[in-house]
Structure formats: structure tokens, C-alpha cells
Structure 1
């Protein structure tokens, strides 16, 4: 379920003051409408520059995602915007990131952004998985696999983003991955597989075309065909669960894409 968004300016005065000690005097703020998991998502302009700020109340059930993003960020130079500061005050947890001036990736067929996203996933594949606490891909997918033994396909020691929604990819020259709340440890090819679903949903690409883009990522070639099929089936079950719990245009679109991919994989 999406988290209710609120204005940055409505934060408690002590929190705003604490932000200014890190970021400089606040001149202007703009609420960011994209994203589902943050109560605060805003670009702030200060005497020292501009920052993207995301935040949750300290008692929010997903506040752990703020810590996860802060922990993983130092390992993502050139992959994600840099985290400049954190604020924990008056019941709020805020992260202040480098602000990008680009646009959300366009996943439509023929988009010039597609090669940049493929390159981004190639570069991510070269990042060693840090020795921090992360969920494991096989744990996250075990409730959705067609048969219990399928989870073995997803185990590995690569750093994964796992949410390749085009709104999580910013193109500002090269492409960058934002929102690392669901950073995961698992098989190296899984982010390319997650991308297939979003390519089909957001770009309306057919399975063969979407898989063709995934194949530009070297890690994709390490996945056995039966492993990709196991993921496609699990992904369809996952998105059925999400769409049932949070029905809406975007969840239905992604669910439909995941179903089409799963049906295609059954014929491979």
C-alpha cells in the first residue's frame, strides 16, 4: 500500500532546523509525487545547494528501509545518488541525497534510455555485495515459487536492487538507481529479470524483446532457462498478491505483464 505523502514544510520546526544545520538555509521546497514508500519526498533548495530528501516517522513500520538505504549507499558510487546527511529528530528519520536534474527512464520501445539502463545494470553487476545485513532473494520469493526447490535458483552473493520500476531509474547523462529500500543479496541475474517485467509493463514490450534487453546484461547469461522460468512464475504469483492487496491501474498493469511473461516462459 502506498504511504500517505505530506509536505516537507509541515515537518516539526526542530526537524527543519536540524536539516538546515546540514544543508544550509532552506529557500524553497518542492514535493515529489513519485514513489510509494516515503511520507516525505521532496527536493529542497538551500543556500548550500539542492538535495532530494526522503523520510518516515520513526515509528513507521517501514522505517527500517531508511537504515537500509543509508547502509548500502557508500557502496554505490556512480550507481546511485550520494547520501550527504541523515537527520533523526523529533520522531522523524530523514535522508538527504544528491539531487539529480534528469528524468525518469523511458522504457518504451526505441527509447534512447534503454541502453543506458542496460549499462547501469552492467555496472551494478561489478559492485561487490557489501557485508551488511540484507534480505536474501530466496527468502523474499519462497512464498511465490511454483515448487519449493525453485528457490535454489535465486540464491547468490550479488547486490541487487529488485525494484526496476522506471521511476526508480533517473537518467541524468548516465542512468542512476534510486530507492534502495529493498536492496537484496541473491543471484546476479535477478535484477535483469526484474527489469523484464517492468519493460513489459511500462514499455509494453513483448517477452522476446524485453528478454533481449536483459540479455545485454552479462549476468543474464549465467541463468539457466529453468531458473528464468522459475522466476517468471514466482514473479507472476508475487504480482497477483500485490494487485489483490492494492488494486489499481499500475498494479494491474504490472500483474498483467508478469502473467504474459510467465505464459511465454512455459513455452520456452
Structure 2
């Protein structure tokens, strides 16, 4: 495998797309969807996240499904293809992909709808153990040969060259531990939205989780304790964790500049708090 080119990449902006209702898709697209899942009798738009123009739970007489769609002209439409490519490799930890449709200017992904609730990351939540086990299961998956972004490439703009070695690896990563992406039921947890799947060091998904735990009210120390429940966390070093915390804080500072969106400002503050904790502990 060739070495990743350390070219700074644009950050994942929090609001890349304007949300529209399922019924605003062209009739030809909805007809194609109906041919696959049956007549759609109701569609409930997702309240969280704006990474897709359409994100909705579909109701049919025979079942429940989830649809994501982006215009083929959107600059992030490649994430639709990436998610479709990665789906067969993550079906034990994600929602099952039913079909990808490219029709009338729209790129559409159809999934089985997951039963459960969005993860609660607050202190003492019973969901935290489920999420730690989910990250453990992701870490056990083989990394597919499909093209993926490299972790060190994605973080290159936010740290020094000599720190990037901590992030390199050959493990499959999700990288977006936003609780809206994690669905928990009585038995386990699954994670959706794999469009930004990445190849890198095994411990990084647990590291990405830390800031979200802090944003939900956990102390940095408690958040790191939960990260340590993921076996891959033991493969990193204190220097590596600090390097990531600093890079992650810089990334969110860039993304969140001028934002008044509550979850963006929340994760920005949490990332800064973790960085300060690591610096004080050094």
C-alpha cells in the first residue's frame, strides 16, 4: 500500500446541505424507490444532521426503511458511492444497504431501518457500554481494499508532520461518533453514515468518541476511561492521544468559527476542553 500524500483536506463542514422533505424528490425517483420497497405511505425526515439533502424514515405496508439522497451535483456526492462500497463490509455493525439509485439528478441510498434510539452519551447512561462494545466490534472488522481516505491525510492540516505517524494504520474507522449516528437497542448498538470511512490507527474511533462524550457532560478523565474500554485504545501512547486531541481541537475550531449551531458550538467547546486537559496532564 502506498504512502498517503499529506495534502491538507477541507474539513467536514457541519452543514453541507439544505434538508428537503422526501416528497420533494422528483416523482421519477420516488417511483424507483417504490418499485424496490413498495408503496411509501409516510416519510419522517430526520431531525439531526444535514449531511444529506434527504434523510427520512419511510413507512410502507410491509416494513420500515431509511433513505439518504444528495444531488449528483453536490460536492460531497462521492460519499454516497463510498457508503455503498463499504456497506457489504460493515453489515454486522451498520444498517443493511438495500439499493443505490442514481436517477433524475439524484443519488439515493436505501437502507433497512434500525430499531432503537439514538445513543445517549451522558454520564451513567446505560448506552455507553453498548457503544464501547460497538467500537470493539468495528475494530475487529478487516479493512476492505476499496479506496478510503487516510487518517493522517485528513488530519495533516491540524498537526505537525512528525505527529502524523501516530494516526497511520491499516484499520477501518468510522470517524463520526456523533450520537445521532449510533442507534442502540436492548441488545447492542449499530452505527450509520459510513460515507467518511477512513483507514488509520486502530484507536482513533475511540479517540473521536472522547469529544462527543465530553460534549454530553462527561469529564475528560471519564471520557478517556470509556475510550480505554475499547481494546484498541491500548495500542496508542500518551503522546499520540495528546497529538490527536490537539489536532481535533484545531479542526473543530476551524469548522466552528462563527457558528451559532448548538451542537457545533458544543463539540467545539468539548474538543477545546479535552485539549486543555491533555496539556495540563503532560
Report the TM-score range of the alignment, normalised by the length of the smaller protein.
over 0.9
1:226 aligns with 2:245: no
- In structure 1, what is the equivalent of residue 278 of structure 2? 265
Q: 1:42 aligns with which of 45, 56, 60?
A: 56
Residue by residue over 1:35-54, the C-alpha shift from the partner in whole angstroms, topping out at 9 and shown as x without a partner, is 12100011111233210001
Structure-1 residue corresponding to 2:42: 28
Taking structure 2 as the reference length, what is the TM-score of the superposition? 0.92
SS at match of 2:34: helix
| Residues in 2 aligned to 1:30 and 1:211: alpha-carbon distance in whole angstroms | 36
| Deviation sequence 1:165-191 (CA, Å, 0-9, x none) | 111101123100111111100000000
Q: CA, structure 1 residues 245+137, in 2 after alignment: closer, same or farther (shift >3 Å)?
A: farther
Contact 2:40 2:58 in 1 (8 A): yes
Q: Using structure 1 for the length normalisation, give the TM-score.
A: 0.97
Task: Give the counterpart of 2:227 among 202, 205, 214.
Answer: 214
- Quote how far apart the aligned CAs of 1:247 are: 4.0
2:259–2:265 CA contact under 8 A, matched in 1: no
1:81 alignment partner in structure 2: 95
Gap runs ≥5 in structure 2: 1-13
Q: Does 1:239 align with 2:256?
A: no
Match of 1:163?
176
CA distance in 2: counterparts of 1:235 and 1:131, whole angstroms: 27
Deviations 1:200-258 (A, max 9, x none): 01x21111100000000000000011000100000110010011164422212111111
3-state SS in 1 of match to 2:49: coil
The unaligned stretches of length 5 or more in structure 1 are none
Equivalent positions of 1:1-268 (< 5 A) are 1-2=14-15, 3-145=17-159, 147-173=160-186, 174-201=188-215, 203-244=216-257, 246-266=259-279, 267-268=281-282
Query: Aligned partners of 2:168, 2:259: CA distance in 1, in Å?
Result: 28
CA distance in structure 2 between the partners assigned to 1:29 and 1:84 by the alignment: 17
Once the two structures are overlaid, the 10-residue window that deviates more, 48-57 or 120-129, is: 48-57
Spell out structure 1 runs of 4+ moving beyond 6 A.
none
1:246, 1:62 → 2: CA distance? 21
Q: Name the Cα RMSD after superposition.
A: 1.1
